[in-house]
């Protein structure tokens, strides 16, 4: 008798262990998006150190920057590598191009050794279905994904790395504003059917962005309380289902859109979710903190949503790790301020998204330029200064000066000083970048006022500085390489 029950028990035990692992991984997986659209990005090695110090175990990238992948090597951090939209056309039309991409950007990093990069997902396209892009990328996404998949099979990585297609917050909608009528945007219907068939065939999850901030910002019918998971928010009822927050409402709209398209059980990963801290009403650190705490508590409660009770998103990636001063401002002035950390790796507020100490750790040993700022020289005739302010803002980041920005209270010409300084720091404090027809003045007195911070640029943004000056290049490159290697060895 024992001989028949034992194997059964053993199998049951195995199954249980497996189940508990799956269940466990469903709870802890909160990652961050790491974008690099910045004039002076924090060096990748320092960012990886920041991730490790804060126990972040998963990161999503928007491309396959070799410096970034190198820095992640041996870190044990799980990585989603991105493919920019600009590459989709060639990847769709050429399997060879897909094979080269996999060879250059994956194979060499994913060896089994201690120094490997743990790539989990390849994200084909950077929100290619964003409504503002129109239909330009529709014809390429599935073909590009299929070619990357074929290339993965060829090099035996298909069981290790999954191909996914990130979907923007505006790819799904509901006429009534309620989940029961959720569907994909009609213009996307045919493409989405192909995308979902592809994902389903390869057992890949559905990556989607959810943005209670944008729902609130764009749709006056979403109250701030509803977006912030607040208890007192007025619920929205969808027949017998009651929605207490914007997250659940959006999530179930996605669930319904997937069901309507024929894939009711597909796993969902929240590829981007966050709250910006500048450039719009209610885009502040304190509101962002309330939002993220609400999100983390909601996920921890494991309640799930009315349509998927006790069934959490498989993973959630916070958008974003750091502020990026070169992101497009088309969506709004808030776009450059999504970071939990400022551009230089300083926590804007405290949030515990890794089930840790609850205290975020700042980036260490950040190398700043000198404590110098560029301001308007008040002793000059300033009648022509607005042209210079425009010139500065067309290149530098002036988003904090926008009507709801952190520096909107600066009066003239203090606001022009802000613009001058942004330009000056972006140009590594070179003296000629504070000229402005003789109207600029370099000062060592910090002009910052209250919440309006006049920043000092980063010194060791090697990747950017190197591209700028070739003399510098020859001198610093071997040193940098040596340092990087040292860092690798120490880790």
Ligand X SMILES: *[C@@H]1O[C@H](CO)[C@@H](O)[C@H](O)[C@H]1NC(C)=O
Binding site for ligand X (CB under 6 A): 54-55, 63-65, 84, 92-93, 100-101, 104-105, 139, 143, 177, 186, 189, 193, 221, 234-237, 242, 261-262, 281-282, 284, 287, 354, 356-357, 359, 361, 381, 383-384, 389, 393, 401, 412, 415-416, 419
C-alpha–C-alpha distance, residues 99 and 92, integer Å: 12
**CB-wise, 6 or 355, nearer to ligand X?**
355
Least spacing, CB of residue 143 vs ligand X, in Å? 4
The CB-of-243 to ligand X minimum distance in angstroms stands at 9
Closest approach of Cβ 391 to ligand X, in Å? 10
CB of 43 to ligand X, least distance (A): 18
How crowded is residue 143: how many other Cβ atoms within 10 Å of its Cβ? 20
Find how far residue 461's CA is from the centre of its chain. 20
Nearest distance in Å: CB 54, ligand X:
5
* Minimal distance, residue 459 CB to ligand X, in Å: 25
- Nearest residue (CB) to ligand X, 62 versus 472: 62
* 3 state SS for 67-108: HHHHHHCCCCCEEEEEECHHHHHHHHHCHHHHHHHHHHHCHH
Nearer to ligand X, 262 or 371 (CB): 262
Task: Show the DSSP H helices in 312-384 as ranges.
Answer: none
**Pairing relationship of beta strands 162-164 and 315-318 according to DSSP bridges:** unpaired
For residue 17, the surrounding DSSP H or E stretch is helix 2-28
Residues contacting 117, CB < 8 A, separation 6+: 69, 72, 73, 75, 79, 109, 110
Which of 388, 336, 331, 341 lies closest to 362, judged by CA? 341
CB of 71 to ligand X, least distance (A): 15
Complex with ligand X: residue 207 or 423, whichever CB lies closer: 423
427 touches 436 (CB < 8 A)? no
If the CB atoms of residues 408 and 459 are measured against ligand X, the closer one turns out to be 408
Chain centroid, CA 306 distance in Å: 27
Burial tier of 17 (Cβ tally within 10 Å: 0-12, 13-18, 19+) = exposed
Closest CA to 128 of 69, 59, 82: 82
170 versus 483: smaller Cβ distance to ligand X: 170
To ligand X, the closest distance from the beta carbon of 359 in angstroms equals 6
β-partners of residue 121 are: 80, 162
Whole-number minimum distance, CB 244 to ligand X, in Å?
Answer: 9
Give me the residue whose beta carbon is nearest to ligand X. 356
In the complex with ligand X, the residue whose CB is nearer, 412 or 472, is: 412
134 alpha carbon, distance to own chain's centre = 22
Residue closer to ligand X, measured from CB, 39 or 105? 105
Query: Which is closer to ligand X, CB of 4 or CB of 237?
Result: 237
Minimum distance from residue 361 beta carbon to ligand X (Å):
5
Of residues 126 and 315, the one with the C-beta less far from ligand X: 126
For the CA atoms of 244, 245, 250, 254, the dihedral, rounded to the nearest 10 degrees, stands at -50
3-state secondary structure of 32: strand
Of 302, 331, 299, 342, nearest in space to 317 by CA = 299
Is 261 strand, coil or helix? coil
């Amino acid at each position: 008798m024992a001989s028949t029950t034992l194997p059964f028990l053993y199998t049951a035990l195995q199954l249980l262990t497996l189940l508990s692992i799956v269940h466990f991984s469903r709870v802890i997986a909160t990652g961050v998006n790491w974008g690099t659209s910045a004039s002076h990005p924090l060096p990748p090695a320092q960012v990886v150190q920041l991730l490790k110090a804060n126990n972040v175990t998963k990161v999503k990238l928007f491309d396959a920057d070799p410096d970034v992948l190198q820095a992640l090597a041996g870190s044990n951090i799980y990585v989603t590598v991105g493919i920019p939209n600009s590459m989709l056309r060639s990847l769709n039309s050429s399997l060879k191009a897909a094979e080269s991409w996999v060879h250059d950007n994956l194979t060499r990093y994913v060896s089994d050794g201690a120094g490997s990069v743990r790539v989990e997902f390849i994200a084909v396209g950077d929100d290619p279905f964003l409504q503002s892009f129109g239909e330009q990328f529709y014809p390429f996404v599935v073909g590009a994904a299929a070619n990357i998949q074929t290339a993965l099979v060829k090099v035996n990585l298909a069981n290790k790395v999954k191909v996914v297609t990130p979907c923007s917050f505006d790819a799904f909608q509901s006429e009534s504003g309620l989940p029961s009528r959720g569907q994909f945007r009609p213009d996307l219907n045919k493409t989405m059917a192909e995308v979902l068939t592809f994902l389903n065939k390869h057992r890949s999850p559905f990556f989607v962005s959810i943005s209670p901030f944008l729902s609130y910002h764009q749709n006056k019918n979403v109250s701030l309380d509803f977006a912030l998971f607040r208890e007192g928010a007025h619920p929205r009822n969808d027949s017998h289902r009651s929605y207490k927050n914007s997250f659940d409402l959006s999530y179930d709209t996605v669930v319904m859109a997937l069901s309507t398209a024929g894939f009711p059980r597909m796993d969902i990963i929240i590829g981007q979710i966050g709250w910006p801290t500048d450039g719009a009403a209610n885009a502040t650190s304190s509101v962002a903190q309330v939002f993220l705490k609400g999100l983390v508590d909601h996920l921890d409660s494991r309640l799930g949503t009315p349509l998927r009770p006790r069934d959490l998103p498989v993973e959630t990636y916070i958008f974003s790790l750091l502020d990026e001063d070169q992101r497009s401002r088309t969506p709004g002035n808030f776009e450059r301020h999504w970071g939990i950390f400022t551009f230089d790796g300083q926590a804007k507020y405290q949030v515990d998204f890794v089930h840790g100490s609850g205290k975020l750790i700042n980036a260490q040993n950040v190398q700043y330029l000198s404590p110098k700022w560029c301001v308007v020289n008040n002793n000059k005739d300033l009648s022509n200064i607005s042209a210079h302010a425009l010139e500065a803002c067309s290149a530098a980041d002036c988003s904090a000066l926008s009507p709801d920005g952190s520096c909107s209270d600066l009066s003239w010409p203090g606001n022009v000083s802000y613009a001058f300084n942004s330009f000056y720091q972006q140009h590594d404090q070179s003296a000629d970048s504070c000229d402005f027809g003789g109207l600029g003045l370099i000062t060592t007195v910090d002009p910052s006022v209250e919440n309006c911070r006049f920043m000092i640029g980063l010194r060791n943004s090697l990747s950017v500085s190197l591209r700028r000056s070739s003399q510098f290049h020859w001198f610093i490159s071997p040193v940098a390489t040596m340092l990087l290697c040292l860092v690798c060895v120490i880790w």
